[in-house]
Amino acid sequence: MKKMAIILAAGKGTRMKSDLPKVLHEVNGKPMVQHLIDKLERIGMDRIVVVVGHGAGQVKEKVRGNVEFVSQVEQLGTGHAVMQTSSLLEKEEGLTLVLTGDTPLIEEDTITRLMDYHMEKEAKGTVLTTNHFNPTGYGRILKGEDDHVIGIVEEKDANTEQKRIQEVNTGIFCFDNRALFESLPLLDNQNVQGEYYLTDIVSLFLLKSYEFESFLLFDNEQMLGVNSRVQLAEAERVLRKRINEKHMNNGVTMIDPLNTYIGEDVVIGANTIIYPNVTLNQITVIGENVVIESGSVITNSIIGNNSIIKQSVIMDSHLGNDVQVGPFAHIRPQTVIHNGAKVGNFVELKKTVLGEGSKANHLSYLGDSIIGEGVNIGCGTITVNYDGKHKHQTIIEDEAFVGCNANLIAPVKIGKGAVIAAGSTITKDVPKNSLGVARSRQEIKKGYKSRTTQS
């Protein structure tokens, strides 16, 4: 059976007090709507259609994945939003999910179980419901004696008795696609809001003797809709807790999970220890037996086994096994640090390869460089890679020794086993096993102070 999904993402979200479309506000480093798209792709939906409106251009630019877009120019309700997908989906056969773009906490397993239940019951429509002790603001589920759904009434249209109902609409539905699109043109807007409610489709189905089912979700935390900054923070808290518990259950130690920030797509090996106030973002992979100390931020990078990261920032880079970084190092994009290498305090690497066993222990900048194995980079060394218009490369071959406070003016090559004297500014290639010295000869002027202090 073909499986399709419609994500409603056209609203402005006025309570967010922001020019950014509501569905682009991030939860744990990812836009709310992207959480849904990623989950739908992982469970194998055949088509995903996103209904956009406010800030449509921003949404289209930001969202990634195999999705199609339709526009809802006027926001006239959820039913009206689904109508906008008719040109794409009305001729399809199969199952169609409808979800709201501001529910990033819904889990893949819940979506899968909803679809399975819908198919098992051979229903034309199924609504995902949950129970709320305080259901204010939610649409109430009306049921007949046979426990089938006979209606969904919105809060503003509900009477006193209906408002006492605690089973509520989550805004997530599963439909037989043909039945859905045959009924959509029959919706009207005769309600307090003057909108076309998707929930009114229930009564239209019943007129055709189509049974409408409900699937009860006991974990109503998954259904938190994000309509304000307060709810955004709450969604962040819930998702972060869920992610951290998954990693801890897989053998990762977190000293303080409440203050550890890990993205949904991060992979962490067993026996790794993460200290408080660590942030791991995007597609980051951490190996086994790694120690990441407080204050470190690692984004879209790979860290090999048995490595130690101390209070450092690493972005778009690849570190091997047994690597030590920090404290206070900055590893910038396109850097590769091979096994056993060490990058010490206040060292910055950019677009640089640091070979196996090489060391840059203190206060250095290494940019656009290829550094071989067993190289020593002295304190204060700088690869001078930028001439004001272009970047140039420095090559330092295996077992070279670069003394403290050296400037290597790129493009330049330091040969295998070469030694660069401390304080040198190197502008020409240094052959292998040679000594490169480029500094002024020291002069001693005896009695200088006494002469300058005479009146």
Q: Which residue has the tokens 């009434």?
A: 153
For 203, counting Cβ atoms within 10 Å of its Cβ (0-12 exposed, 13-18 middle, 19+ buried), the class is middle
* Token pair listed for 219: 């974990």
Report the b/e string of 437-447 with b at 16+ CB within 10 A: ebeeeeeeeee
- Amino acid at the residue 294: S
* Distance (Å) of CA 272 to CA 255, 289, 290: 11, 4, 5
The C-alpha atoms of residue 247 and residue 231 are separated, in whole angstroms, by 25
Write out the DSSP string of 193-255: T----GGGHHHHHHHTT--EEEEEES-GGGG----SHHHHHHHHHHHHHHHHHHHHHTT-EES
* Token pair listed for 332: 């910038």
- Amino acid at the residue 230: V
Per the CB < 8 A criterion, the answer to whether 297 and 284 are in contact is: no
Instruction: Count Cα atoms within 13 angstroms, Cβ side, for 410.
Output: 22
Residue 362 a catalytic site member? yes
17 Rama sector, left if φ>0, alpha if ψ -120 to 50, beta otherwise: left
Which residue among the candidates 132, 318, 362, 392 is catalytic per the annotation? 362
Per the CB < 8 A criterion, the answer to whether 357 and 374 are in contact is: yes
Q: How far is CA 201 from the centre of its chain?
A: 36
Catalytic residues: 362
